């Protein structure tokens, strides 16, 4: 089993890597080592032991922009 950083809430190192999240699909949680504490259920960065919220917001914003740009390009191609 892979060893992760301590949980920022309860200080346990008993965490499990998440394979899928609503905000990042299958890539996001792997990208940020998003783990879930098996003791208290907190989700955090298993590499740094810190909260992943900032990373998630940045990731979500970037994905949102990409989707927006792609749909815009798609519409341009469709209606030109
Ligand atoms: Zn915990």
Q: Where are the domains of the chain?
A: 15-78
How far, in Å, from the CA of 34 to the mean position of ligand 1? 13
How far, in Å, from the CA of 49 to the mean position of ligand 1? 11
Query: What percentage of the chain exceeds 70 in pLDDT?
Result: 99
Output the pLDDT for position 80.
83
Q: What is the pLDDT of residues 41-67, one digit of tens each?
A: 999 999 999 999 999 999 999 999 999
What tokens appear for 50 in the block?
Answer: 């810190």
How far, in Å, from the CA of 14 to the mean position of ligand 1? 8
Band of residue 1 on the pLDDT scale cut at 50, 70, 90: low
Output the pLDDT for position 46.
97
Cα(48)–Cα(59) distance, integer angstroms:
17
Cα(2)–Cα(16) distance, integer angstroms:
8
């Amino acid at each position: 089993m892979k060893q992760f950083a301590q949980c920022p809430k309860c200080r346990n190192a008993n965490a499990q890597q998440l394979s899928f999240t609503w905000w990042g699909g299958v890539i996001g949680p792997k990208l940020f080592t998003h783990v879930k504490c098996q003791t208290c259920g907190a989700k955090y960065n298993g590499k740094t032991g810190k909260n992943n919220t900032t990373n998630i917001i940045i990731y979500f914003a970037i994905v949102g922009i990409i989707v927006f740009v792609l749909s815009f390009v798609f519409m341009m191609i469709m209606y030109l």
